[in-house]
Amino acid sequence: MSVLVFAETQNNKIKKSSFEPIGYGRKLADLMGVECQAIIVGTAENASDAGLYGAQSVIHVNHGASVNFDCINYSKIICSVAKEKGAKVIVFSHSSSGKGLAAYVATKLSAGIVSGVNSLPTVEGQVLKVSKSVFSGKASANFSIDSEIKVITLAGNTIKPDSGGTPATIEQMEIVLDAPKMNVLSTKRQEGTVPLPEAELVVSAGRGMKDPANWNIIEDLAKTIGATTACSRPVADTGWRPHHEHVGQTGVAIRPNLYIAIGISGAIQHLAGVNNSKTIVVINKDPEAPFFKAADYGVLGDLFDVVPRLTEALKKLES
Amino acid sequence: MKLLVCISKTPDTTAKISFVENNTAFNTDGVQYIMNPYDEWYALVRAIELKEAAGGTVTVINVGPASNDIVIRKALAIGADDAVRIDTDPTSSMDTASQIANYAKDQNFDIIFTGKETIDYNGAEVAGMIAAMLDLPFVSFASKLDQDGDSFKVTRDIEGGIEEIGIQGPFVVSAAKGLAEQRIPNMRGIMMAKRKPMNIIPPVTVENHVTVDDYTLPVEKAGVKMIDPENMDELVRLLKEEAKVI
Ligand SMILES: Cc1cc2nc3c(=O)[nH]c(=O)nc-3n(C[C@H](O)[C@H](O)[C@H](O)COP(=O)(O)OP(=O)(O)OC[C@H]3O[C@@H](n4cnc5c(N)ncnc54)[C@H](O)[C@@H]3O)c2cc1C
């Protein structure tokens, strides 16, 4: 019996963001008194690192192969491993590929599923109790899952991954796959920055910036602390910033450790995507800006003065 | 082309969220409902555009009680040809998906659209479930979808980027921002919607393994600490020593 964690790969390595669900899977496995196993599909040079973060063994399927992401084949792999290993709970990242795949796998295994779980579960006999954020962050819901096999996807920044474990033993498995029903024609990624849904530090700016040419002060600030940049919806809609930076109810929902909001009023639809951030800093010149009510730290002032000053102060700290 | 668009009803984006019955049920009092924005703005409109370009039909389907007819009529007013409502208040995403898959299984749809997620439960589960039940390929979070001969080119959002894929129907796709531009129904559409067929179909029984025990509202923030705009060293110190985030 096991808790099986699906570890996503990119550029032939386990993704950094997959170490968190592995650590979470281990904590859950300990609660249940079973083993934590990680499953990796395709090439992963650092497969044994899954052990550092808590996996007690790694099942490496079609090692060395390049397997395009496709729910049919991935779910076939995960379901057959889950059956063979007697998986009780399967944990996925709450990521672009993890969400859809988890739903697919849960259906194939007649498993109950809760997506976007954001705290450690409790185990009561056959029942797993988990919670997640609902109504776009305006509440949280507590669920019971009572199926034989259970599936959850884990929201990012729920626990802090700890790399104090030992490298895991790797079991290689070959699973024959059907020809994929879709072909990847091209892939484009922004290089060099952490994608927004995975970012721990986010610097975000809104219409208060007045002009896209002014974004250099935002980028300087972000670069100083290694943060990812984000923006409000009107800023993306007018083409000042790329769409993938749009956070909020109709954009990306994020929960970084630090969210710095600059020249953003804090409309309810904006807050819906960012209100789960651990610490929120708001820089705004309007004392009535609703965002101050959702903030931990507020700076009332002109962003064009405050932001460069903050960047300087952070640089002093770094040096 | 035969297209199916799954639509759901969600509380309006500005709705105040509260709970009743010992925090076990959502308080619907005074809540305005809308069509889930991802379903309306992106999935439905793109389906209508494909039909306008290549011919065919767009059917919308909703799993819900008669009070949902208002959002179904809106979808018809925007341009769907006919509608199906499975007459049950679904208890879980698995329930919703099962009802839709059961209806769609012998209808030979070329593409089944959903929104990326609903803005109430934010699960992003239904589309993948329908695909699994019908053994169809599933493309999540599509921001572009074009016909390309007898197949389709779809751009999907992946972590930190985009991926373009080629796929043949039938498949299930969930719609993200960028797939289409919101359409406002006009008077003619609203009048025509009244005469478009709406099929009410009884539900099938679905085994449910997930239940909501209760809800909690977020703990109020302790209150904002205002920092002197001249003194950013102090903010940095607090972020480091108090919040411990840098
Ligand atoms: C259905 C629906 C969905 C939506 N979804 C989203 C969403 O997902 N994400 C989102 O962001 N919005 C969303 N919106 C829009 C949202 O309601 C707001 O309109 C939007 O968030 C406002 O963006 P903003 O804060 O950048 O601009 P504004 O509201 O114009 O605020 C600009 C702020 O900058 C401040 N400012 C100006 N100059 C300076 C200066 N020199 N120094 C310091 N501060 C300054 C002002 O005081 C003001 O508070 C949605 C709306 C609807 C109806």
**Nearest CA residue ID for atom 18, ligand 1:** A267
| Mean pLDDT, chain A, whole residue set | 95
- How much of chain B exceeds pLDDT 90, in percent? 91
Whether B173 is covered by a domain: the verdict is yes
Question: Above 0.90 for ipTM, yes or no?
Answer: yes
What is the per-residue pLDDT for A65?
81
Alpha helices in chain A (DSSP H): 19-32, 71-85, 96-108, 216-225, 233-237, 268-274, 303-318
Per CB-CB distance under 8 Å, the chain A contacts of B37 are 249-250
Give burial (CB, 10 Å; 0-12/13-18/19+) of A251.
Answer: buried
Distance A294 CA to ligand 1 centre (A): 14
The span from the CA of A31 to the CA of A231, in Å, is 40
Per CB-CB distance under 8 Å, the chain B contacts of A297 are 224-227, 235, 238-239, 243
Residues contacting B169, CB < 8 A, separation 6+: B1, B110, B111, B151, B152
Whether B228 is covered by a domain: the verdict is no
Distance B159 CA to ligand 1 centre (A): 25
Determine if ligand 1 sits within 6 Å of the CB of residue A236.
no
The pick from B13, B14, B34, B120 for probing ligand 1's pocket by mutation, whose C-beta has the most ligand atoms within 8 angstroms, reads B13
Give the three-class secondary structure for A162.
coil
Interface test with A, best of B6, B121, B173, B237 (most A CBs within 10 A): B121
Confidence of residue A207 (pLDDT cuts 50, 70, 90): very high
Q: Residues B18-55: pLDDT tens digits?
A: 999 999 999 999 999 999 999 999 999 999 999 999 99
Whether B85 is covered by a domain: the verdict is yes
Packing angle of the helix pair B126-134, A96-108 (nearest 10 deg) = 50
Whether B206 is covered by a domain: the verdict is yes
- How much of chain A exceeds pLDDT 70, in percent? 100
What is the per-residue pLDDT for A41?
96
- Are B132 and A103 in contact (CB < 8 Å)? yes
Where in the sequence is the domain holding B113, given as residue range(s)?
2-217
Distance A248 CA to ligand 1 centre (A): 10
- Measure CB to CB from residue B210 to each of A96, A138, A145 and give the nearest one: A145
Backbone angles phi, psi at A95, to 5 degrees: -120, 175
Determine if ligand 1 sits within 6 Å of the CB of residue A267.
yes
pLDDT > 90? residue A190: no
Whether B14 is covered by a domain: the verdict is yes
Per CB-CB distance under 8 Å, the chain B contacts of A140 are 215-218
Which segments of chain B have a pLDDT < 70?
Answer: none
Per CB-CB distance under 8 Å, the chain B contacts of A113 are 93-94, 125, 210
- Measure CB to CB from residue A114 to each of B168, B210, B224 and give the nearest one: B210
Please tell me the total count of domains within chain B: 1
Determine if ligand 1 sits within 6 Å of the CB of residue A265.
yes
DSSP lists the bridge partners of residue A170 as A58
Whether B31 is covered by a domain: the verdict is yes
Q: Beginning with the edge strand found earlier in the chain, give each strand of the sheet holding B57-63 in spatial order.
A: A182-189, B161-167, B151-158, B138-148, B171-175, B111-115, B2-6, B57-63, B82-86, B198-201
Minimal CA separation from B231 to chain A, in Å:
8
Q: Which residue on chain A is closest to B124 by alpha carbon?
A: A99
- Are B243 and A143 in contact (CB < 8 Å)? no
Per CB-CB distance under 8 Å, the chain B contacts of A129 are 213
Confidence of residue A191 (pLDDT cuts 50, 70, 90): confident
Determine if ligand 1 sits within 6 Å of the CB of residue A251.
yes
Distance A291 CA to ligand 1 centre (A): 10
CATH code at B39?
3.40.50.620
Q: What is the pTM of this model?
A: 0.92
Confidence of residue A250 (pLDDT cuts 50, 70, 90): confident
Q: Residues A39-80: pLDDT tens digits?
A: 999 999 999 999 999 999 999 998 888 788 889 999 999 999
The span from the CA of A51 to the CA of A171, in Å, is 13
Give the three-class secondary structure for B61.
strand
- Are B245 and A181 in contact (CB < 8 Å)? no
- Measure CB to CB from residue A268 to each of B13, B120, B218 and give the nearest one: B13
The span from the CA of A89 to the CA of B40, in Å, is 35
User: What is each CA distance from B10 to A270, A301, B13, B105, B201, in whole angstroms?
Assistant: 17, 38, 8, 26, 21
Peptide bond into A212 cis (omega under 30): no
Distance B235 CA to ligand 1 centre (A): 24
- Are B160 and A194 in contact (CB < 8 Å)? yes
Q: Are B1 and B55 in contact (CB under 8 A)?
A: yes
What is the per-residue pLDDT for B104?
98
Determine if ligand 1 sits within 6 Å of the CB of residue A161.
no
Whether B246 is covered by a domain: the verdict is no
DSSP states of A118-130: -S--EEETTEEEE
Distance B61 CA to ligand 1 centre (A): 34
What is the per-residue pLDDT for B221?
79
Whether B243 is covered by a domain: the verdict is no
The span from the CA of A207 to the CA of A203, in Å, is 14
